[in-house]
Structure 1
Amino acid sequence: MSMNGEYLRVTPEELTRALKDPEWALGLAEEIQDAQEDNETTPAEARHFTTHKTWHLLDFLLKRSVFPVDIVHGEEPFAETDDWGYGPPRYVTAGRVRLAADTLTQMTYDQLVQGVDHSELAAAEIYPQIWDSPTSLGWARDLFTPLTEFFHAAASDGHAMVIWLD
């Protein structure tokens, strides 16, 4: 079993309801994930997005760059919520999604990995343990641009974000 970074775009009204009824939120997340499995959607059209196993690498790189929003784990906890996989979900408000989107669009993956050595990732025990060569740093490149597009679309629509590891 692997750990995957999961994202759900929600309207401010849906976020309010989710905070009051986390079971409803989990059902909404599962419903949206199931619907998207049947239809190919672009990151800009999607309500759900996954960074798969790259979440920990992205967390390391974004923290290293002093990224202003925690877009890997979320910023605010749900009150007394069951685990959605590997811990309870957290959320990012619509305003913070906007800040994240604006900041993401100003950076490239190459800028994010600049100066990072693959041995740093091994020493930091970044999941999964695949950091045996310099080329391993490129592993998350194919998900960085879609993640940026996903956040940009969410910000454009005034959406908040629910984030969890599954």
Structure 2
Amino acid sequence: MIFQGRRLTSDQVADLAADPSLTARLLDREDDVLDLDKAWHGIHFLLTGGSWETSPGAGEAVLGGDPVGDDLGYGPARLLPAERVQLVAAALREVTADSLRTRFDPAALLAEGIYPQVWDDEDFALYLLPNFSSLQAFYVAAAGEKQAVLLAVT
């Protein structure tokens, strides 16, 4: 399972609303696509404290949004409208490496069944933190352009 996010213009959101089958095609493009590989679930856990639940703001960065289109393997893609992207970006700007480090507990990740269930202390600095930084930059850029975001686990 890997995570992909794609920044969408208002025209692309309108196209997607008219034809939800466009989700796979939009995610296949290379521009404006974020790939968190398998770090997505660990990052979600660090932001929310839970395995699948979302919460407003940073808690919607990975698993938030409203379902759109067909099942892509692990459920349909989800669309986060531009207004919610603004809230996510603002919340993510406040998250620091130190604050994430205090939330990182390998035993808790394993106990919660956080994918890919191979957590140790090195995973934070070598795997989760760089991917979180990419997620943070992705949302800040999308918010700056007043874009929506399409999210998917495939």
TM-score (normalizing by structure 2): 0.86
Render the CA deviation track for 1:61-117: whole Å, top value 9, x for unaligned.
111296624111232122xx2112321101111011111111111111221231432
Structure 2 unmatched ranges of 5 or more: none
The count of corresponding residues between Structure 1 and Structure 2 is 148
Structure 1 pair 115–72 and aligned structure 2 pair: CA distance change class (3 A): closer
Question: Contact 1:5–1:165 at 8 Å: present in 2 too?
Answer: yes
* Structure 2 equivalent of residue 141 of structure 1: 129
Question: Contact 2:39–2:128 at 8 Å: present in 1 too?
Answer: yes
- Tell me the secondary structure at the aligned position of residue 141 of structure 2: helix
- Tell me the secondary structure at the aligned position of residue 89 of structure 1: strand
- Tell me the secondary structure at the aligned position of residue 8 of structure 1: strand
In 2, the alpha carbon distance for the partners of 1:58 and 1:14 equals: 27
* Structure 2 equivalent of residue 106 of structure 1: 94
Asked whether 1:124 is paired with 2:112, we answer yes
Question: Contact 2:7–2:149 at 8 Å: present in 1 too?
Answer: yes
Asked whether 1:165 is paired with 2:153, we answer yes
Asked whether 1:10 is paired with 2:4, we answer no
* Structure 1 equivalent of residue 64 of structure 2: 74
Larger Rg, first or second structure (1 or 2): 1
Asked whether 1:53 is paired with 2:38, we answer yes
Divergent runs of 4+, >3 A? none
Structure 1 unmatched ranges of 5 or more: 37-46
The alignment-based identity, stated in percent, is 31
Question: Contact 1:74–1:162 at 8 Å: present in 2 too?
Answer: no
TM-score (normalizing by structure 1): 0.81
Q: Which one has the bigger strand percentage? A: 2
> Displacement, 1:146?
1.7
In 2, the alpha carbon distance for the partners of 1:55 and 1:148 equals: 12
What amino acid does structure 2 have at the position aligned with 1:5? F
What amino acid does structure 2 have at the position aligned with 1:51? L
